[in-house]
Amino acid sequence: MEAMPVDASTGVMNTLLSKLSKLLEEYTNIKGLTRNQITFLRDELSRMKPVLEMLADIDELDPLKKEWRDNVRELAFDIEDYTDSFMVRVNHGSDELPTGFKGFFRKLKKLKACPEISDEIDELIKTCAMESCKRHKRYKSVDVTSNSSTFGVDPRVLMLYDEVDKLVGVDGPKKHIIDWLTKDKDDKNLKVLTFMDLGSLRKKTLAVEVYCQVEDQFQCKSFFPMSRNLSRKKILRSIYTYLGITDNTPDDEGELIDRIRDYLKHKRYFIVIDDVWDEEAWKTIKLVLLNNRRGSRIVTTTRNAAVASCCTRDSDYVYQMKPLSLRDSKLLFFKRAFGSEDLPHPHLEKITDGILEKCDGLPLVIMIMSSLLADQHAEDEWERMLTDIDCALTKDPDIDIVKRVLSLSYYGLPHHLRACLLYLSIFPEGYEIDKQRLINRWIAEGFVHEEQGLSSYEVGEGYFNYLINKSLIQPVGSKHGKAKACQVHGIILDFLACKASEENFNTPSDAAEQQGLVSDNKVRVRRLCINNRNNNEIDTRLKGPNLSHVRSLTVFGDFGKTNLSDFTALHVLDQENKWSFGENWGSEDYHIANIQKLLHLRYLRLSSLSLNFDLTAKIEGLQNLETLDLLGLSIIELPSAITRLRRLARLYIGHLARFPNGTIVKMVNLEELTEFGIMSNDSYQQWKYLQELSQLTKLRTLKVTWDFEWSFVQSEEGLQSHVQSFISSCNVHNLYIRSIRIWPSPYPLSLKSCCPTNTCNLQKLHITYCFICKIPNWMSSLQYLRELKLYIYCIRQEDVEILGAIPRLIFLKLKTFYGTNGRILVPGYKGFRCLKYFGLVIMSCGTTPEFGEGSMPKLEHLKIRFCAHEEECLNGVTDFSFASIQQLSNLNKVEVHIYGCLVSCKDYDPDADMEDSNAKSAACLIKAAVKALPNRVICSFELAKTYGRLGTFHGLIKALNRHTGIPAEKILQEFLKLRVKQMIQNNKALRGLLNR
């Protein structure tokens, strides 16, 4: 039976109906619980479900309907809790049960051991469900006419938010703020600059850019993101932590203030405090940020005018972010909605002006509105949107336009995606939410549909991208349409927090304590989030009968001494402590008790170096576990009991963790493994285990990390044969292989003899920090390969042609030392027909890329890194022929990183550079080529120093010689064996080096 998703409107109604049907099929006449009773319960809930869904589409409900909706939703949760408990206890350990009559009587014994559960279900039927049946007339009395309209849009190509920042312009405000901070260096008084932004996407971006630009001018610097509703002590402890003070954090407020002031007393400091919410928070901050008369500077950001006024004194300054002009508003709106700078549909021009007038120049509102209307061409749809806004403003002139637009966007989502969005309210403001972690949690919570031909993760990734395309979450770490993480804008997070509270969807621990939820027997806490970054005693915050209904427990910080026996319904347990190296690091006082009793647990993530966790003793009872993430723990030996986790699909461990003999082949449901580590001292056994992974038919993603001494690499029986054998037999979709050693081996890895048996399945292939000697011919036959990342010693013309022949390649990143004849030529009108991202790192001097006319026709994002040192080049050409970039007609973004320079600069502008240098010459050539392109291309430059002569080919060989002790001549022979004769003939300096 296809799994149905959990959603915000009906809770677990969909999954519950599925489970009740299964219960009817397998278990009847259990301790007085008859088939008719279960049938009645299922049918009654089925009639409630469509009414709940209709009510969920109504923005405002009268109190009676809201109470009925909430009661039915909570009823469904309770029934599922009991149903799950019954089915888990019956099925617990069933895989090991004997068959035949012995198996029958063993199972019957288990059924008799669960009378209290069947009694509970029976009681729910007799009371809650029967009471709902008596209220059946209410079903008919519900007016299901919704006053919200649903605006469905097709999924769009991801619009990178850094491009949006450029479009709406942060450069002007950034320059203005930096000038004010640095203009009077002789003024030793403390100065505070506050910039206020009511509804922009730019506030944090601007704060970060200002911080990065001026931080080097101060002895002490810190970027402090404020959280809401922090107590005075928590604010002080957070400042203490973010300043990097290593002493034990005192508990007394007065001592905290004294220590922070003493730490800053003799330092010229620069501190950015992002998002100050209220005046009381600022008054607390002022207690410790003293005027030490050393020219210290503070930048605060806020959305509150009263706070901005409170932060400033006579010598301070408030910079208010200006709304976008109509021109910039249109530019952002059209770029987001249609992917162009102009309106492609003239009949929408007048109504566009009306919509943008309502947006008040607020980028966040413009982004959401344009996402709602993306690719909609019908004028009536746009009219309906404008009418909805006008009606809301007429009804309540004081309504916040941001809130109204967010409401329209929220109610335009499918029900199950509303649950996915509300789930983000669990995470603090400004928190970077890892995509993989989020999707795996969605799966464990039951939010994700099952779709034929796709894994649950792939479906969840579609949800993630959909929310990005709707501008409801902001992508982080984007690489051509793929984001590694996301953030939620503070205004959107406020909206979601209110909705989550209304739906009893998520309960922060502070709210639970303030409202008495933990001790109130009538309120069911379904998801609990605890911020324990500065408090080690959380067991007192986890008391009360309601914990038996908690589905999800998220802890930011350490557990302290926590007993989990009360969390009988827990599906998700996620603990993270990025502050493990603080005062209690290494303590054995942190532990979690009775985790093995969490029979419903599907997702477990533990991340704290100070956590004392006996994996062997705890893991065996977690029979429903699907995701196990132990990357944050120092696990050396995995227990053999891990093979009993029959549902385990995703395993995340460090590369030092070892599998006991015979365990891998038994993990038949494993879909993802990160990382499998191989070290020199145990390489033979681990390679043997790695081969066993190829027998797991469901494995789709595998990350392998090795650390070999070069003496092992030289052996013909070593790395070469093992890698070739593994790749030939591997059947995964996503394969990542990397060496843990940064320095490249002088003995290149050969992939020539690999003959993959499942070439049609491979979609992503990364081989990094282990350089290959050439691109093998078989790569051109990888029919479904979309993403490729390789390190290669020398890129030859035939290598480029093989890569260009990969039919569906979208993302390509190459790292090399040089190209033949001083160039890497991409021929025109041949190959790379689907490529959208190309990253090229050239580690040595004297090589430049060249693009033929018509090459890479769909390329949108180019990122190149090369050396432009000022010394004599020993490897080919010395000029920079980058003009051919203008042949890449579809480009919209170019990133250039030039190293080997005399100075470092994160945001380099060659036009403002008054000095002549190779770096400036190269940057000017690239900038001129980009200007010749038809699109509006975002182009950025960064300069980096290179110490010594590492940037030159000669310097590289000498560095390798010092690092390895291998003679330079031998390194060159191995390192350049594909081309050494030609180079000796063409380069006197290199010939002289070899002769020495």
Residues 575, 564: Cα–Cα separation, whole Å: 13
Residues 827, 127: Cα–Cα separation, whole Å: 76
Q: What is the pLDDT of residue 390?
A: 72
> In the structure encoding, which two tokens stand for residue 725, read together?
């054998």
Q: What is the pLDDT of residue 629?
A: 93
Query: How many CB atoms are located within 10 Å of the residue 350 CB?
Result: 10
Residue with tokens 């009414």: 51
Amino acid found at 284: T
Contact 882, 848 (CB under 8 A): yes
User: Rounded to whole angstroms, what are the CA distances from 72 to 37, 493, 500, 839?
Assistant: 18, 27, 17, 54
Residues 416, 933: Cα–Cα separation, whole Å: 43
Residues 574, 527: Cα–Cα separation, whole Å: 11
> In the structure encoding, which two tokens stand for residue 259, read together?
């220590």
Contact 373, 380 (CB under 8 A): no
User: What is the gyration radius of the CA atoms in the chain, in angstroms?
Assistant: 31
* pLDDT, averaged in runs of 10, over the chain (996 residues): 56 66 59 60 66 65 66 71 68 48 43 51 54 46 37 33 51 77 79 74 71 84 78 83 79 87 90 84 86 87 80 74 80 79 82 84 82 79 80 60 80 86 89 93 89 84 88 80 84 86 79 48 76 60 69 82 80 77 42 78 83 64 89 83 89 88 88 85 68 86 79 52 75 88 66 68 89 89 92 91 95 89 86 94 85 93 85 49 86 89 82 83 88 87 71 60 67 51 48 49
Main-chain phi, psi angles of 267, to 5 degrees: -115, 140
24: three-class secondary structure by DSSP: helix
Contact 466, 442 (CB under 8 A): no
Q: What is the pLDDT of residue 201?
A: 56
Residues 444, 447: Cα–Cα separation, whole Å: 8
Main-chain phi, psi angles of 72, to 5 degrees: -65, -40
- pTM for the full predicted model: 0.76
Residues 130, 443: Cα–Cα separation, whole Å: 32
> In the structure encoding, which two tokens stand for residue 262, read together?
């003493």
Residues 6+ apart with CB under 8 A from 580: 558, 608, 609, 610, 632
User: Which strand ranges, in their side-by-side order, compose the sheet holding 269-274?
Assistant: 220-225, 269-274, 297-302, 191-196, 317-320
CA dihedral 325, 326, 328, 333 (to 10 degrees): 140
Contact 674, 653 (CB under 8 A): yes
DSSP state of 821: G
Residue with tokens 């110490």: 947
Amino acid found at 344: P
Residues 272, 223: Cα–Cα separation, whole Å: 5
Main-chain phi, psi angles of 63, to 5 degrees: -55, -40
Helix extents (H) in 535-626:
615-618
> In the structure encoding, which two tokens stand for residue 127, read together?
């009371």
Contact 873, 867 (CB under 8 A): no
Residues 116, 430: Cα–Cα separation, whole Å: 45
- Print burial letters for 62-82: b (CB count within 10 Å at least 16), e (below 16): eeebeebbbebbbbbbbbbbb
Q: Which CATH architecture has domain 168-320?
A: 3-Layer(aba) Sandwich (3.40)
User: Rounded to whole angstroms, what are the CA distances from 771 to 747, 748, 794, 995?
Assistant: 8, 6, 9, 26
Contact 471, 333 (CB under 8 A): no
Q: How many residues does the chain have?
A: 996
What is the helix (H) or strand (E) element at residue 242, kind and residue range?
A: helix 232-242
1: three-class secondary structure by DSSP: coil
Residues 265, 248: Cα–Cα separation, whole Å: 19
Q: What is the pLDDT of residue 872?
A: 57
Q: Is 521 left (phi over 0), alpha (psi -120 to 50) or beta?
A: alpha
Residue with tokens 């021009």: 349
Q: What is the pLDDT of residue 95?
A: 47
Contact 910, 954 (CB under 8 A): no
DSSP β-bridge partners for residue 448 = none
Instruction: Measure CA 673 to chain center.
Output: 18
State the DSSP string of 279-343. Answer: HHHHHHHHTTS---SS--EEEEEES-HHHHHHH--TT-EEEEPPPPPHHHHHHHHHHHHHSSSS-
Coarse DSSP helix, strand, coil percentages of the chain, rounded to the nearest 5 percent? 45, 15, 40
Residue with tokens 């950015």: 272
ω into 675 cis (within 30 of 0): yes
Q: What is the pLDDT of residue 126?
A: 53
Domain ranges of the chain: 12-139, 168-320, 323-412, 430-499, 506-578+590-615+631-638, 807-951, 964-995
> In the structure encoding, which two tokens stand for residue 308, read together?
């901005």
What is the helix (H) or strand (E) element at residue 232, kind and residue range?
A: helix 232-242
Closest C-alpha among 161, 148, 59 to residue 488: 161
Residues 66, 727: Cα–Cα separation, whole Å: 58
Q: Please provide the distance, in angstroms rounded to a whole number, between the alpha carbons at the two ends of the chain.
A: 74
